[in-house]
Structure 1
């Protein structure tokens, strides 16, 4: 991970890290009980809207003999990471697995990430049913504060 962190901007690191979060629960027994020996699973990167083709999916392959390999499902990617051990499990809530190498999908290091300047925050909020909230932040001049904070990352709770 140190080579990734040292040579890429934060937006690329965020993309790479979001590829390491699966949107399904996998523990040791589920990894070794994959039907047909291989499966594709969705990652957090898929939810960004930037995942073209299979870039937002991870290939999990049970190679038998207690060896499980992981790799990007994107064309040209290899199964170059292996399951090492389970770090922590809270059944069906969270599972933290140690793997032998980061999963770096072909294209993830160059995939587009919208900058704060590219995001129309009010249009996004309105599109998802938060028009009264948008009107309130616009009329109270809080919108400028939101826009200046977006470059660092922002979470908005819109009641």
Structure 2
């Protein structure tokens, strides 16, 4: 992880981050703010690392069916085209289960040449149950329990 000017590195945690338009890792305001904060840190050479979740199915697309009802469709994107897997995993206790979390990295390049790494946490790991592998799939998907599991992954993982 790059450190500039010998200062301590700031860890910036966010449930979502707008890193690129083609990466559905954000839905709106919070994600745009997080992405802008991380880009500004890179531009200014602030020693920072971003930490967020790897939402493989992103925030859903919305469309209307013939009767005018909202239909939600998952967004699937080529993860490997944007982030690189890191050789880092950890176990996080979620509801009494040990869930393996792995890390991916995205690099934000600032205008001055400084960089800010963004670590994206992912539970789609071999050995996890089907349920646990899907915990990071959707941004704000599911119910309060699903969201709490995501918050544990972000806060502990």
Q: Same fold (TM over 0.5)?
A: no
- Normalising by structure 1, report the TM-score: 0.24
More strand by share: 2
Of structures 1 and 2, the larger Rg is shown by 1
Structure 1 or 2: more helix by fraction = 1
The TM-score normalised by the length of structure 2 is 0.25
